[in-house]
A and B are shown apart, each in its own frame.
Chain A
Amino acid sequence: MSNKFKEVISDFGTVFNVISVDMYPDDYSGDIANDIRFVRYSVLFTNAEDYNHQRDTELSGLLIARIFSEKGYAASTAYDDAGTLDTALEGKRLPNGTTLGKSTLEQPIDDPANETLVFMQYQIPFTQFR
């Protein structure tokens, strides 16, 4: 049986590889190409349920993306990046069948790891039927 978690991650990967936003997984610790404009993301699998007498499964969760920008520049860069992400994701159905819902965006807050940056948290729910 295929790995249901990797299928979802791979679905997001097909989008992240082509959009014009520097995306990195949350636990990435290598070089960052533009250190004042980048996004870290994680995928939270929140629920799984059986349907059709356990023949089908619905896996759902949240894609959480923290959009970083230089303090004072969130309005000019982070909202643009949020828009780019949203255009690529909201309401879309990805190659492995991951279907995305409606997104939300939180206000900029200081990055506790680097006080010269702020980040906004973009969240979008997803569902995959298997």
Chain B
Amino acid sequence: MELSSTIKSAVNTAFAALGDLVQTATLTPKGVTGFNHETQQVISSNSTPVTADAIEYNRKINLEGQIVIDVVLKAWEVPNDKYLTITLGTETFRIAEFNTNGYSTEIVAKKEK
């Protein structure tokens, strides 16, 4: 088996092992393609939300009182893009950081408490 397949398989195994800790996340692409200066509005394109398996492995409230979560997802389920929000259950967070190595994608997302 090729190394990349081995790693991908290991990621799948890890997610499977975590059972009901795995949630379905919905990510909304930013979909902003330009700016109209006269109306002061961004020019948006219709972008389709992305759903992916996600594990929230850390949650904190920082000194500004924002809720900050760290989430890991299967990278191949989340195409590289500029995303605006991630929704887990009934909570929607704004994405502050997006890191990927091609196998797992880590997202830091925030919302005001």
* A residues at B contact (CB < 8 Å): 6, 9-10, 12-17, 23-25, 28-31, 33
Contacts and interface: CB of A to CB of B under 8 A. Distances in A.
A23 B39 CA distance: 14
A30 B40 contact: no
- When A and B form their complex, which 3 residue pairs have the shortest distance between CB atoms, in order from nearest? A30-B32, A13-B37, A16-B37
Contacts, number: 41
B37 A12 contact: yes
B37 A31 contact: no
A24 B37 CA distance: 8
Nearest to B38: A13
B5 interface: no
A24 B35 CA distance: 7
Contacts of A24: 35
Contacts of A33: 34
A29 B30 contact: yes
B37 A30 contact: no
A23 B82 contact: no
A25 B37 CA distance: 9
B33 interface: yes
